[in-house]
Amino acid sequence: MSVALHGHGSSQRRPLQVFVDPWMLGIVLALISVGVVFVFSASVWWAQADRGDPYFYLRREVLYVLIGLTFMTLGWAVDYRRLAVYRKWIFGLAVFGMMATFMPGLRVELNNANRWIDIGMVTVQPIEFAKIAVIVYMASFFVRRQDRIQEFWRGLFPPLVVMGFMVAIAMRQPDFGGAMIMVAVTALLFVIAGASLVQMFALLAIATSFATVAVGWAGYRQDRLTAFLNPEADPLGSGYQLLQSLYAFGHGGLSGVGLGESVQKAFYLPESFSDFILAIVGEELGLIGTLVLLGLLALFFVRGMVIARYARDEFGYLLASGLTLLITVEGAINAAVVMGALPTKGLTFPFVSYGGSSLMMSCFLVGVLLNIYRQGELARRNRAVAGA
């Protein structure tokens, strides 16, 4: 898609080509639309009970969408290569945001976790920005050290230190799900950048050891693991949320009970419009609707990797790959948790679950992907004109 703009007072018409990938944009807008519909459907009971207004969470979600689209436009308008130039500032801002979750006057404690900061009228979750900052830093590092990627001290160790530092802060909040996402995406970026199998096995061993220690360290993580392995053992305690989620999928069957007709959203399923919104989709639209939504996530992955493949440079390739994997891995893990294939992680389903920080940063991420597509198209057009 392109648009030609012409300036006034010029003897020559100089078109400004504006490229937008219609496939990526269409997929994301479809996911956001599903999110708005199901945030309202899943939250109406909770909004009435907590706020006295059934439309409370719907209005906030629409506001988040509008802000998110603004972030998407910003990400699309700014040349993605500037991110590499300012990578240290971006990473430093991410570290400050993560550390601010422990600062009195800024931190917001919820459910015994310090994952949010208060910046006036809104609270934000800094780890959503930190995930993007880590990917930007890693992509830039791999480009600059491409010839040393298979060395340990100059290729593997520096990004491990950077990632480990951010993961340590995330674990202190604690946010095991966010930490796991950063580890997983970084490992996949290592593979894409050309790391050796020995390095990957070493990284996998370190990550597995880290996860084992983390689970054993915190009692609530042990409870989550126990609930995952046998939710029926404590149906009114640690296994309650997972069982209610599975009941929702079972009630929905093949084609669902109908839009707005969910039973589980009526105070049975906690976090029905945030982390476990996919269960409400499964109940109201059935297996068919669930597969359609997961299909949109798969299409996002495919289109994102296509954008990466045709990026104009190596940084664009690695950045697009990392950002695409961030959304895809987070969505896949959320789906696995909701369906009982993984222990509870506290992750949202991108673009669909309720939450301002996640939606706004996801939209900015998409804007960057659209800019990578745009710059690639401009480079190809310029080469075609030069060769004509």
Among residues 349, 322, 352, the alpha carbon closest in space to that of 333 is found at 349
- Report whether 297 contacts 122 (CB < 8 A): no
Supply angle C-alpha 277, 176, 46, rounded to 5.
30
- Report whether 337 contacts 345 (CB < 8 A): yes
Residue type, 342: L
The phi-psi region of residue 117 (left if phi > 0; otherwise alpha if psi is between -120 and 50; otherwise beta) is beta
Report mean pLDDT in 10-residue bins for the chain, 388 residues.
44 56 97 98 94 95 97 96 96 95 86 82 89 96 85 81 90 88 90 81 73 61 69 82 95 96 94 96 98 98 97 97 98 96 88 95 98 93 78
pLDDT at 234: 78
Inter-axis angle of helices 197-217 and 176-193, nearest 10: 180
| Cα 388 to chain centroid, rounded | 42
- Report whether 296 contacts 65 (CB < 8 A): no
Q: In Å, how far are 48, 148, 316 from 142, measured between CA atoms?
A: 50, 9, 12
Tokens for 156, please give them.
């593997």
pLDDT at 121: 72
pLDDT at 111: 72
DSSP class of 348: P
Q: How far apart are CA 377 and CA 354, in angstroms?
A: 34
pLDDT at 11: 41
Q: How far apart are CA 264 and CA 258, in angstroms?
A: 13
Q: How far apart are CA 279 and CA 274, in angstroms?
A: 10
String of DSSP letters for 5-25:
---TT-SS---------HHHH
Bridge partners (DSSP) listed for residue 116: 108
Strands 113-118, 123-124: pairing is: antiparallel
Residues 267-309: tens digit of each pLDDT: 999 999 999 999 999 999 999 999 999 999 999 999 999 999 9
Residues 318-342: tens digit of each pLDDT: 999 999 999 999 999 999 999 999 8
Return the CA Rg of the chain.
Answer: 22
Buried b (16+ CB within 10 A) or exposed e, 31-50: bbebbbbbbbbbbbbbbeee
pLDDT at 211: 66
What lies within 8 Å, CB to CB, of 170 at 6+ separation is 98, 127, 130, 176, 178, 179, 182
The distance in angstroms from the start CA to the end CA of the chain is 22
Q: What is the pTM of this model?
A: 0.91
Residue type, 226: T
